[in-house]
Chain A
Amino acid sequence: MTLNQLTLQEALAGLKAGSLDISDLYRDLNDAIEKQKSYNIYLQLNPQAEAEAKQLQDRQLKGLPIAVKDNFCSKKLATTAASKVLENFIPQYESTVTERLQKAGGVIIGKSNLDAWAHGSSTETSDFGPSLNPRNPDYLPGGSSGGSAAAVAADLCLAAIGSETAGSIRQPAAWCGTVGLKPSYGRVSRFGVVAMASSTDSPGVLSKTVEDACLVLNTIAGPDARDATCNQEPAPDFTKFLDQDIRGLKIGLIYHDVQGVEEANEKLAQELAILSQLGAKIEKAQALDPHNAIGVYTVVQRAEVSSNLARYDGIRYGQDRSYFGDEAKRRIMLGTYTLSKGYADQYYNLAQKVRTQYLNDFTQLFKKYDVLVSPTSPGFAKKIGASANSAMFGELEDMLLEASSVSGLPGINVPYYRDPQTNLFFGANFVAPMWREDLVIKVADAFEKNSKWNTWRNR
């Protein structure tokens, strides 16, 4: 085993005990990054990483290397959002997330690849080429935080920062066999994140274990005066919710009868027996058909995109609007259409009403259940090239996540099956009411520690 394969928690313990040398870890990490170059996981590496790490040994994260999705502004490094429009753009300010991460002793090892502007679920819309799935390079890592998920799965970092609007943390985590924690909307500040859909954008963590996700979330969550949508209540210590008793916890299994999800659902039902054995009560629950959530998300997201991407005029920074890729053009224009006179009622206002229907449905479900669970993705990772010729690729792959995303709920992906032929994973998505990250952490941690599917806990 090489030192880059340690979990964040293991590396922290090693550094604390003096049994691990930070230089040795960076040596192994740099070797691994060099070897995996063809996977196109990082758009840019931080040349100062190791030097920075040595200065941070007295801080919480002790200089350990964290991958950061390239839609978080950081003063030192170019921030491109994987679009040619922002190629060579050097931000003049720091996002709250990267500021807090570095203050806590995290080192940005590199900026990870994503779908351009985070539009997509494959990384294939990146203007700098797709990333490959380290579990099997014939397949996609998912997206939009595909580079972050791949960086974790390939041990090219100890944890990663991603962002999710509807599935962009959890879906790539599922496809790459990692943990992906999407906090409640407003738990983590959006200040300095390249805006996509402002009413659902949620920064979060991709990691090797649930515990690692908590360690990173602890450093980035909490009030921020620079983001008015941020929860002004202090965030809890998320590690408090690890190793908890889940006896009596009520878990509703949703989307169990959705077409096209048969294999993932069958395996999930088997694996959830682990939670029953730990004393949780699991039963099938009936949630609102997720198909309409595709429409809601498509309309709301495009509308917000058309507004947010209006700022790219090539005057103050970046290139002009002719540099947008096909997917960004499609989304900006569809959003413009659904907001235009005569169509706003037919599309945008209707979508916001159906969004209310989903929120109400979750409110009802959470009267009966503490946590809801379903497969994260309808199936395994798709092959490289799969997103071509489908203007709706991402929306369909994220079908089981969109309802919870437009409702702002916290969710977490944990691996629950590995296909021995392809080495690809299924992931389970646990969802809880707004601000109840404690519940998803508690149940995901219990599942991870008692099942055999987490690569790092079962090596």
Chain B
Amino acid sequence: MPIVSKKIVSKDQVKHIAQLANIPISESESQQLAKDFAQTLTVVDQLKTADVAELAGTHQVTGFKNITREDIVDESLSFTQEEALANAREQRDGYFLVPQVLNSEDK
């Protein structure tokens, strides 16, 4: 079933969302994504015809409430430092090496 897009999503909107989501995208990608967004939102907009004003939202389906456990350290759920670092792209002195957030001018 082909979807005819009724929504219009601008390239600038897409770029803004990409920035919020921390997804690097190219100029040509933003154009394609704007089209894809419009197609998807056209389908999603059908929800606005549903008669649900009186209903509460469903966020979970099991009905379970307040599932807790004793506040005791479970070693089987903990990593050693070595395990935690095993897949790190860069590490130094047993720590993760992360990109610089503040540059020297901000001091």
Interface residue ranges, A against B (CB under 8 Å): 89-90, 92-93, 185-186, 199-200, 225-226, 228-229, 231-232, 260, 291-292, 294-296, 298-299, 306, 310, 314-319, 321-322, 324, 326, 329-330, 332-334, 336-338, 340, 347, 349-357, 359-360, 390-392, 395-396, 406-408, 434
A295 to B44, CA, bound (A): 4
Contact A315 B98 (CB under 8 A): yes
Contact A350 B88 (CB under 8 A): no
Contact A90 B87 (CB under 8 A): yes
Contact B23 A298 (CB under 8 A): no
Q: Which residues of B contact A357 (CB under 8 A)?
A: 50, 52, 55
If the complex has contacts A396-B1, A408-B61, are A334 and B87 also in contact, measured as CB distance less than 8 A? no
A324 to B37, CA, bound (A): 17
Contact B33 A355 (CB under 8 A): no
Contact B87 A351 (CB under 8 A): no
Q: Which residues of B contact A353 (CB under 8 A)?
A: 50, 52, 55-58
8 other contacts beyond A298-B40, A350-B50, with CB at 8 A cut-off? A291-B46, A295-B43, A295-B45, A316-B88, A319-B89, A333-B33, A390-B3, A392-B39
Contact B17 A337 (CB under 8 A): yes
Chief secondary structure at chain B's binding surface: loop
Encoded as 1 (CB less than 8 Å from any A CB) or 0, chain B from 48 to 81 comes to 1010100111111110100111000000010100
Q: Which residues of B contact A185 (CB under 8 A)?
A: 61-62
A229 to B47, CA, bound (A): 28
A141 to B44, CA, bound (A): 27
In the complex, whether B22 has a CB less than 8 A from a CB of chain A is yes
A162 to B55, CA, bound (A): 33
Contact B40 A392 (CB under 8 A): yes
Contact A92 B84 (CB under 8 A): yes
Q: Which residues of A contact B12 (CB under 8 A)?
A: none
Please indicate which of the listed interface residues B45, B62, B69 has the most CB atoms of chain A within 10 Å of its own CB: B62
Please indicate which of the listed interface residues B25, B52, B98 has the most CB atoms of chain A within 10 Å of its own CB: B52
Contact B86 A333 (CB under 8 A): no
Contact A329 B23 (CB under 8 A): yes
In the complex, whether B21 has a CB less than 8 A from a CB of chain A is yes
A294 to B3, CA, bound (A): 13
Q: Which residues of B contact A329 (CB under 8 A)?
A: 23, 25, 29, 33
In the A-B complex, the 3 residue pairs with the closest CB atoms: A352-B57, A408-B61, A317-B87
A433 to B18, CA, bound (A): 40
Shortest CB-to-CB span from A255 to chain B, Å, is 15
Q: Which residues of A contact B84 (CB under 8 A)?
A: 92, 316
A71 to B33, CA, bound (A): 26
Q: Which residues of A contact B44 (CB under 8 A)?
A: 295, 298-299, 338, 347, 351
Shortest CB-to-CB span from B89 to chain A, Å, is 6
Q: Which residues of A contact B57 (CB under 8 A)?
A: 349, 352-353, 355-356
Contact B62 A186 (CB under 8 A): yes
Q: Which residues of A contact B102 (CB under 8 A)?
A: none
Contact B39 A391 (CB under 8 A): yes
A407 to B62, CA, bound (A): 9
A408 to B63, CA, bound (A): 11
Shortest CB-to-CB span from B79 to chain A, Å, is 6
Contact A354 B59 (CB under 8 A): no
Shortest CB-to-CB span from A287 to chain B, Å, is 15
Other-chain residue from B22, B33, B39, B77 in contact with A321 (beta carbon distance below 8 A): B22
A449 to B97, CA, bound (A): 59
* Chain B residue nearest to A357 in the complex (CB): B52
* Chain A residue nearest to B37 in the complex (CB): A334
Q: Which residues of A contact B58 (CB under 8 A)?
A: 352-353, 355-356, 359, 406
